[in-house]
Structure 1
């Protein structure tokens, strides 16, 4: 089931079979350099399961990002609830395989998720939680119209919080 579609991508809910595409991404030290560590196979399976549970509980989560042309899963992007300084925010999160970096896929997927959050879910604010050293992720956040709102300790380390707001109509 395709949830979102862009010019080059489609986003769909995870299935357990996505482990074959996601494990090489999440176990890669370069891709995961801003996480505490790369994921094990079990951690990747847990990641998939947690998002499947989010679909049922929240109605959204991180989704598989697939190339329209080949149907290949190249990462994930979506919306997830996060706690930031005691407040629940909805984050636009994304991970793209390093083999596909610098092609605009993260921005394309993040724009689709941003628009889904604002237009379909009716939220007025979205955030991205970014390690301050992750300049590529900061560029994605800025390209989708987010600006740095604050810094906060999340996941036991300092992060920049980029935020975007629904345009007044």
Structure 2
């Protein structure tokens, strides 16, 4: 199921054929460095992620990010429920294979997900980013988010970037 497309990308639900390329991406220690576990994921864990995220009729979740031209899986981007200070927030999360860093794909995918969130009527989105993760901070800023505060989640200090969405589209 297609979620969104951009000039270079398609965002869609995961399918079983995504397992090998996703497992390869998530097994890279550098790709997983800023994850909560700081550990690469196993093939079984990648399979669990695909199974969990490919549920039909669920508007939120992580979406496969593929190249329009080749269909290659580049990583994922999507909407994640987060509990912050007793409130549910919707996070735009993204993770791409290292060979796709620095080409604007994360920003392009995150903008598509931001616009998807606005179409769903979600009033606000955030991203939770460690201070040392400069690449992700730049993506959040390019999407239109601004730094709001610092919090601790699972003993990790993260910065909250956020923005309000409007129903006709987005600001930023």
Normalised-by-shorter TM-score class: over 0.9
By how many angstroms is 1:168 displaced? 8.0
Aligned-partner Cα distance in 2 for 1:167–1:122? 8
Q: Distance between the aligned counterparts of 2:75 and 2:66, measured in 1? A: 7
Does residue 22 of the first structure (1) align with residue 22 of the second (2)?
Answer: yes
Is the contact between residue 123 and residue 165 of structure 2 (CA under 8 Å) also seen in structure 1? yes
Deviates more, 1:149-158 or 1:71-80: 149-158
- How many residues were matched structurally? 166
Coordinate RMSD, CA, aligned: 1.5
For normalisation by structure 2, the TM-score amounts to 0.91
C-alpha separation between the residues in 1 aligned to 2:46 and 2:83?
A: 22
Runs of 4+ in 1 over 2 A off after TM superposition: none
Per-residue CA deviations over 1:118-155 (Å, capped at 9, x if unaligned) read 1x111111001111111000000000010111111123
User: What TM-score results when the alignment is normalised by the length of structure 1?
Assistant: 0.92
> Which residue, 38, 43, 46 being the options, matches 2:45?
43
Gaps of 5+ in 1: none
State the 1:97 CA deviation: 0.7
Structure 2 Cα separation of the partners of residues 17 and 100 of structure 1: 20
Unaligned ranges ≥5, structure 2: none
- Report Cα offsets for 1:74-128 as digits up to 9, x if no partner: 100111111112211111010111101110000000000001111x111111001
Q: Could you say which structure has the higher helix fraction?
A: 1
Distance 2:22 2:163 in 1: 28
CA distance in 1, matches of 2:33, 2:52: 22
